Amino acid sequence: MRTPPSDRSLNLGILAHVDAGKTTLTERLLHLAGVIDEPGSVDSGTTQTDTLALERRRGITIKAAVVSFPLDDVTVNVVDTPGHPDFIAEVERALGVLDGAVLVLSAVEGVQPQTRILMRALQRLRVPTLLFVNKIDRPGADVEQVLSTIRARLTTDILPMGAATGSGSRAATFTPYRPDDPGFRERETLALAEHDERLLAAYVEGQARSPAVLLAHTAAQTREAVLHPVFAGSAATGAGVPELMAGIGALLPAAVPDARGAASGRVFKVERGAAGEKVAYVRMFSGAVRARQRLDLPDGRVAKVAGIQVFQHGDWLPADEVSAGRIGRLHGLAVVRVGDGFGESCRAEEHHFPPPTLEASVEAVDPARRPALRAALAQLADQDPLIAARTDRDGRPMVSLYGRVQQEVLASTLAEEHGIEVEFSDASVIHVERPRRIASAVERFNTDTNPYQATVGLRIAPGPAGSGLVFELDVAGRDMPLFLYKSAEGFAKVMRGHVERALRHGLLGWQVTDCRVTLTEVGYTSFDGPPSRRGPLPTALDYRKLTPLVLRRALERAGVRVCEPVLGVDLEVPTADATALQRLLGRWGAELTGQTSAGELTRLQARLVAVRLHELQRQLPDLTGGEGTLESRFDGYQPVRGRPPRRRGGHGARHQAGHTGARERVPT
Ligand SMILES: Nc1nc2c(ncn2[C@@H]2O[C@H](COP(=O)(O)OP(=O)(O)OP(=O)(O)O)[C@@H](O)[C@H]2O)c(=O)[nH]1
Ligand SMILES: [Mg+2]
């Protein structure tokens, strides 16, 4: 067994809008570092990171993949992520394990919708980020133009590190500015001065700093994620890639190992090995994990590490341990799920991107394969919990989806990896319910209406949009059944779990969200007597059964507002067709939020209910002679107009059996 070549490592994400060249750039970096003899190509399916048959066939990245190369004394682990918005969940999981990132843009297409979404997430998480303007060899490449759109639409905190010459041809090159070039020094000083008043004062007083001092400041501000150096080049020809590589080494922070203390890490990817066993990719934050170590995973799951691999010399090789700062593959964790943390990083993962907006039912073409389908979906949910595999009231499996491409990929995966042919049907938009007003309900111990041996009172109140569920206790400690739950915290956690489960299905079957639920009353004795331990004491089951009952009653009193997902759409169409499009959007009740014309092309921005997206995609080519382009992103929920739809097969439907509601179908 070999030990890793160095202690320090840099976990580097490559992120971009679909097709910007992330996978091609990853190949170039590996080639430059001497890990592979020839860079592979996405177009002929020979890259190191697009290894799935499906990725090779489609020429897109579907799963985040890890490769690594040595850079001086640092091991760089590169996480190549998918750019298609249907696979944003993969990016989400990668974000939590990065020390730095390269955000790739195309020199032809410039800032694209996903570029903005990713940049916002990187900034929110303060991930040190370099920008790489790729494809300078392509006709139409214009780095200066891209730089000005970056400033206008992404961030003004950038520092171009060189200039492209000969753009638009295979001979295009990138020349870094010399550190002592007076023009560059001035631009560098001014960019740094935005976040450093002393540098500004010195500059105003004419006390120029030396190039070395400026570079140190640039590195420091990059590491603080307040400045983003910009490189340019071509992943196809290799131009600019050595300069980017040097920038990665000089400007991005390598993790300083904290090998002391208890092991803590996070699983950001789960895949199936050759024999169908689970392989978990873990990023370690402190301590080390060794073979045969037991790991305490969330919800009391325990798993034992059977084997460890780390990436070296272009391959995953067996190792004795994976330590702080590094990425390793753990074998033998049968119960692991993606997103699991252990040790200090055990806390739940935060969400930076919106949830899937579609749900569809899946049927095995051969009914005899139904049980196998259910098992396969459960396995896939361990790799991607956001598909939320479940069964509806009629026992049909259902999944949540971001879009059509993900649905096709899921169908191919089930067919190729599990031998199950499936059909999706009834894809519909996922709605949510929000309570309308504040309401309460209570069931007390020993009363006629209460079938359980406990007292529970709950209040539900509307919360701000996007706030999810807030749960709080407003009861005295002496009334809590601490003989069941040990501590007030333990009791609160269990009750929160009951509330969460109950809110999965609101009055019309959709998940209830954006609300504050307060436990207002609790008890385990007759309400008019003093607390005592006499009489039949409640069990955990009483609280579990009674809570949803009381919450349901409170929700019925509060009433709900059913809300549907809304998308921000960005259209680029020939100016001659803009009016026709505006009229169509107007008919659909879309809100026009922006319009700019630059000669022949007009950009329209609008907020459109998600259910209309597919129709818009269908009509766009006809309305624009095939010239129009469309990008969309999730932009929150808004109350539905007219009669609210009821979720098909949802549990809320049981109160009005036979009523199918006015659910809108997404044309498929
Ligand atoms: N001309 C030119 N083509 C490039 C360059 N980089 C990538 N491409 C091509 O652009 C297409 C997309 O490249 P990928 O590397 O798959 O892009 P990606 O960002 O990984 O795409 P996804 O993972 O699917 O989001 C392929 O056809 C590449 O050959 C470049 O610098 N110049
Ligand atoms: Mg890719």
- In the predicted model, is pLDDT for residue 352 greater than 80? no
Chain mean pLDDT for the chain: 89
Place of tokens 């873990």: 282
Closest CA to 517 of 538, 541, 547: 547
208-224 pLDDT per residue, tens: 789 999 999 999 999 99
pLDDT tens-digit profile of 168-185? 999 999 999 999 899 999
Residue 226 DSSP code: S
Residue 127 has pLDDT above 70, yes or no: yes
Atom of ligand 1 nearest to the CA of 20: 19
Q: Compute, in angstroms, the gap from residue 235 CA to the centroid of ligand 1.
A: 8
Among 42, 103, 109, say which to mutate for ligand 1: greatest number of ligand atoms within 8 Å of CB: 42
pLDDT score for 588: 92
Ligand 1 centroid from CA 488, angstroms:
55
Q: How confident is the model at residue 4, as a pLDDT?
A: 46
Pocket-testing residue among 23, 24, 52, ligand 1, by greatest number of atoms within 8 A of Cβ: 24
Closest by CA position to 648, among listed 637, 662, 636: 662
Length of the chain as a residue count: 668
Q: With 50 as the cut, is the pLDDT of residue 469 above it?
A: yes
Protein residue closest via CA to atom 2 of ligand 1: 135
Indicate if the pLDDT at residue 346 is higher than 70.
no
Residue 333 predicted with pLDDT over 90: yes
Ligand 1 centroid vs 129 CA: distance in angstroms?
Answer: 20
**Nearest CA residue ID for atom 30, ligand 1:** 135
Please give the pLDDT value at position 349. 59
What is the best residue among 14, 18, 23 to mutate for testing ligand 1's pocket, by most ligand atoms within 8 Å of CB? Answer: 23
| 531-553 mean pLDDT | 83
Q: 512 CA to middle of ligand 2, Å?
A: 36
Q: What is the pLDDT of residue 526?
A: 56
Distance from residue 381's CA to the centre of ligand 1 (Å): 29
Q: Which atom of ligand 1 is nearest to the CA of 60?
A: 24
Mean local confidence (pLDDT), 189-206:
90
Q: Is the pLDDT of residue 415 over 80?
A: yes
**What's the rounded Cα separation, in Å, for the pair 91 and 83?**
8
Q: How far is the CA of 21 from the centre of ligand 2 (A)?
A: 7
Question: What pLDDT band is residue 651 in, cutting at 50, 70 and 90?
Answer: low
Pocket of ligand 1 (CB under 6 A): 16, 18-24, 42-43, 60-61, 82-84, 134-135, 137-138, 234-236
E-assigned strand segments in 17-85: 65-71, 74-80
Task: Give me the residues paired with residue 284 across strands.
Answer: 265
- Residue 153: per-residue pLDDT: 85
- Closest atom, ligand 1, to C-alpha of 17: 25
Q: What is the dihedral of CA 271, 277, 279, 280, to 10 degrees?
A: 90
Whether 383 and 270 have beta carbons less than 8 Å apart is answered as yes
Q: pTM higher than 0.85, yes or no?
A: no
Give the start-end residues of each E strand in 17-143: 65-71, 74-80, 100-106, 129-134
Closest ligand to residue 19's CA: 1
Ligand 1 midpoint to CA 135 (Å): 8
The string of pLDDT tens digits covering residues 26-45 is 999 999 999 999 999 999 99
Note the Cα 446 to chain centre separation in Å.
48
Task: State yes or no: pLDDT of 657 exceeds 60.
Answer: no
Is residue 164 within 8 A of residue 172, CB to CB? The reply is: yes
Q: What DSSP string runs through 265-312?
A: EEEEEEEE-TTS-EEEEEEEEESEEETT-EEE-GGG-EEE--EEEEEE
Ligand 1: nearest atom to the Cα of 41: 29
Return the ligand 1 atom nearest residue 18 CA: 25
Q: pLDDT band at residue 662, thresholds of 50, 70 and 90?
A: very low
- Ligand nearest to C-alpha 27: 1
pLDDT for 617 equals 84
